Amino acid sequence: MTATRRYNKRQLKKKYLGEFKELCFLFDAKLTNPLGTDWETFVDRFLAEVIEANGLAFGGGGDGKEFSGFVGAYKRYGKVEDSHRTLVREWLEKQSQLTDVNVGELRDAWHGWD
């Protein structure tokens, strides 16, 4: 795809370009101690309080040492904004079980993942 190529609106929508571009961001954090059986409760709280409450979608998880994931819009062609990044970062930073919280910049959810 070149910058000079022109697409009609249907093609832009199909390729998630232009006004149909979807954004997402990545995050990661280290766990201070393995959560054991509390892991499911922790993830359930994250999903309920941050992800579902704000119309977002989450893909990711943890290995007992780290919690990381991908956050995007739940609805097709939905919008993820800096305010969503801030919500996720603030919630993660408030959790005593986590350290070294990193929340990435907004990026194209469909293109440029080489």
**How is residue 68 written in tokens?**
């990381």
pLDDT in tens, 8-42: 999 989 998 888 989 999 999 999 887 776 888 88
Whether 102 maps to a domain, the answer reads yes
Whether 62 maps to a domain, the answer reads yes
Whether 59 maps to a domain, the answer reads yes
Counted domains in the chain: 1
Please give the model's pTM, rounded to 2 decimal places: 0.85
Give me the sign of the Cα torsion angle 81, 26, 105, 28: positive
Domain that includes residue 30, residue range: 19-108
CATH (domain of 42)? 3.30.70.260
Owner of token pair 């992800």:
51
Whether 24 maps to a domain, the answer reads yes
Question: What pLDDT sits at residue 80?
Answer: 94
Give the Cβ contact number of residue 71 at 10 Å: 25
Ordered alpha helix ranges (H), the chain = 9-14, 38-46, 82-94
pLDDT in tens, 46-82: 999 999 999 999 999 988 889 999 999 998 878 899 9
